[in-house]
Homo-oligomer: A and B are copies of this chain.
Amino acid sequence: MPRTPDPKIRDRSRTEAAIVLAARDVLAESGFQGFGVNAVARRAGCDKQLIYRYFGGLEGLIDAIGGEIATWVEDSLAATGQAPPATYAELTERLILGFLEALRANALVQKIAAWEIAESSPLVARLAAARGAALSRWMALMRGGLAPPDGLDAPALNAMLIAAVQQLALSGAAAGSFAGLPLKTDEDWDRVRAAAVRIVRGLYAG
């Protein structure tokens, strides 16, 4: 009796898990370009026919992966800490910084965010929908009973902050810099964090 179960054994659930894992890997490594039935099957070490039988093709496989993104939110929120903020500035600051860390820590979610604006295939749309739902959840959970100061278009301002952080996280991962700003070392990211805090406080705590 081997501790690691004999791969020759017939176990649908195990095979399904292997396929999903292989698909995740192929996506994260080769990108959407090389993502296909053949590539995933090769990587999973099984026949591509099984992808059709168990997932109904690539679309179903994408949906299975999308489901895993929900866990990204859970993990990220758990890591962000739960102490309730006292002011709207503090809330926003924590939201922005937490989003930056969460995004930087998950290469697959980064890729999805990039594909959303670069490709336009039904497969990407499905993944993007999963990410969007996760993001909404994130926003809702982070939003306490606090209200932004009057006279400010908080949705637009916050969208810009999130947009900036996302773009920097993506460019940092892909190119190591953005518009001349290096995005590699911890010190580089400290500058980004400080800039974000500066902007948030200038808006909401000034």
Contact = CB atoms under 8 A, between A and B. Distances in A.
B119 A117 contact: no
Contacts of A142: none
A120 interface: yes
Q: Chain A contact residues: over half helix, strand or loop, or mixed? A: helix
Interface residues of A, number: 51
The quantity of this chain's copies bound in the complex is 2
Given A156-B191, A159-B180, A164-B163, A117 B175 contact: yes
A192 B166 CA distance: 17
Contacts of A165: 160, 163
Interface stretch (A14-22, A46-54, A55-63, A195-203): A195-203
Interface in A153-206: 153, 155-168, 170-171, 173-175, 178-181, 191-192, 194-196, 198-199, 202-203, 206
Interface in A106-141: 111, 114-121, 128, 135-136, 139
A158 B152 CA distance: 21
B118 A175 contact: no
Given A118-B117, A163-B164, A181 B194 contact: no
Contact of A118 (B111, B128, B167, B192): B111
B174 A156 contact: no
Interface in A33-75: 33
Contacts of A136: 180
A143 to B, nearest CB: 12
A206 B161 CA distance: 19
